[in-house]
Amino acid sequence: MTYLTLLAATVPNTVSWSPKVAIVMIVCNIAAIAFGRFTIKNKSVGPALPSPALFGGMGLPALLGATSFGHVLGAGVILGLANAGAL
C-alpha cells in the first residue's frame, strides 16, 4: 500500500489541452528555432524549405532538429508551469 502512495506522489501534475498550453508550446518552438538559427553550424545543408527566409535560411533537417528541441523544451515548460500552478 505504501508503494501505491509513493507512486501517486511521483506522478507529475498534467494539464489538459487549452489555449494557454498551445501558446506556451508555440513560444517554446519559436525560441528553439531562433536558438537553432544562431547555433547550428551547417543549417542550410539538405533539402530546402519552400520559404527559406521564413525560417532563417534553415534546411529541412535543421528545422526538424530545432522543432524537436522546441517540443522537448515545451513539454518541460508545460509540466513545470502545471506543477507550479501557473497553467
Please count the residues of the chain.
Answer: 87
Residue 5 lies in a domain: no
Residue 20: what pLDDT?
94
Residue 10: what pLDDT?
67
What is the identity of the amino acid at 61?
Answer: P
Residue 1 lies in a domain: no
Q: Record the cell numbers describing residue 20, joined without a space.
A: 494557454
Q: Domain range holding 32?
A: 13-84
pLDDT along the chain (87 residues), means of 10: 67 81 96 90 82 80 92 94 86
Residue 53 lies in a domain: yes
Residue 4 lies in a domain: no
Residue 86: what pLDDT?
86
- The model carries a pTM of 0.78
φ and ψ at residue 48, rounded to 5 degrees: -85, 160
Give how many domains the chain has, as a whole number.
1
Residue 81: what pLDDT?
92
Residue 44 lies in a domain: yes
